[in-house]
């Protein structure tokens, strides 16, 4: 699927950016905020400093994603335990839901700069009332015609990551509305 390559690219940029300052000076795994409930994996396998992260394919159903997206989707677990979803039409909106601990990787601002770097001239949309802070960046990739999304919701020291790709000309407003529904769904599911 051509669009999932875009999703994977955004996810890899975000994860790598979040971990680019892993000097060990970020404190202990729990920090001041306990990890979200409903978790089943650690950020890097055997790394004892990594917090338990939510596995969204275990927490969110395809029906819940269908309601948020407004079209039937199927799900699968992808790289970095991200929950990937797509539609029958490979040009239709697809995406991934994941989580990354940003405590030792430069923090939330570093994560945000990584998602911004993945997009051409992105527009930032801060979203109120979702986790501790939430945003989406919307722009094209490599001069493409269709808008794509990279963003997340901060909960403690974990960012619930969201990446969306599409090739059907969805507007910026449509993508912001869908992103907000998906981020709210993720925060609720991980409680």
Q: DSSP letter for 167, please.
A: S
Q: Cα–Cα distances in Å, from 63 out to 41, 90, 162, 176?
A: 23, 19, 18, 20
State the Cα–Cα distance between residues 53 and 36, nearest whole angstrom.
7
Say if CB 139 and CB 119 are below 8 A apart: yes
Taking phi first (over 0 means left), then psi (-120 to 50 degrees means alpha), and beta for anything else, what does residue 16 get?
alpha
Q: Is the dihedral of CA 139, 141, 144, 149 positive or negative?
A: negative
Instruction: Give the helix ranges, DSSP H, for 70-124.
Output: 107-117
Instruction: Report which of 84, 56, 82 is spatially closest to residue 190, judged by C-alpha positions.
Output: 56
Tell me: the pLDDT tens digits for 133-163?
A: 999 999 999 999 999 999 999 999 999 999 9
The token pair that represents 101 in the structure block: 């601990």
- Report residue 17's pLDDT band, with 50, 70 and 90 as the boundaries: very low
Say if CB 32 and CB 51 are below 8 A apart: no
> Which residues does 139 contact at the CB level (< 8 Å), separation at least 6?
119, 120, 121, 122, 123, 147, 148
pLDDT at 32 over 70: no
What per-residue confidence (pLDDT) applies to 16? 37
Tell me: the pLDDT tens digits for 76-134?
A: 999 989 999 999 999 999 999 999 999 988 999 999 999 889 899 999 999 999 999 99
Query: Do strands 148-155 and 133-140 pair parallel, antiparallel, or not at all (unpaired)?
Result: antiparallel
The secondary structure of 43-96 as a DSSP string is: TTSS-TTSPEEE-HHHHS-HHHHHHHHTS--EEEE-GGG-EEEE-SSTTS-EEE
What per-residue confidence (pLDDT) applies to 15? 40
Q: DSSP letter for 34, please.
A: P
């Amino acid at each position: 699927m051509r669009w999932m390559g875009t999703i994977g690219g955004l996810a890899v940029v975000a994860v790598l950016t979040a971990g680019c300052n892993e000097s060990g000076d970020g404190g202990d795994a729990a920090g001041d905020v306990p990890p979200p409930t409903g978790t089943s994996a650690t950020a890097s396998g055997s790394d004892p400093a990594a917090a338990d992260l939510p596995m969204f394919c275990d927490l969110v159903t395809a029906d819940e994603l269908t309601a948020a997206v407004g079209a039937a989707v199927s799900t699968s677990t992808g790289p970095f335990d991200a929950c990937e979803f797509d539609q029958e039409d490979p040009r239709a909106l697809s995406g991934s839901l994941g989580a990354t601990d940003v405590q030792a990787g430069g923090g939330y601002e570093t994560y945000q700069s990584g998602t911004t770097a993945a997009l051409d001239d992105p527009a930032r949309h801060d979203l109120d009332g979702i986790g501790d802070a939430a945003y989406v960046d919307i722009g094209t990739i490599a001069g493409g015609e269709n808008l794509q999304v990279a963003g997340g919701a901060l909960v403690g020291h974990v960012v619930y990551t969201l990446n969306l790709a599409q090739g059907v000309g969805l507007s910026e407003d449509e993508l912001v509305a869908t992103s907000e529904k998906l981020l709210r769904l993720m925060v609720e599911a991980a409680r």
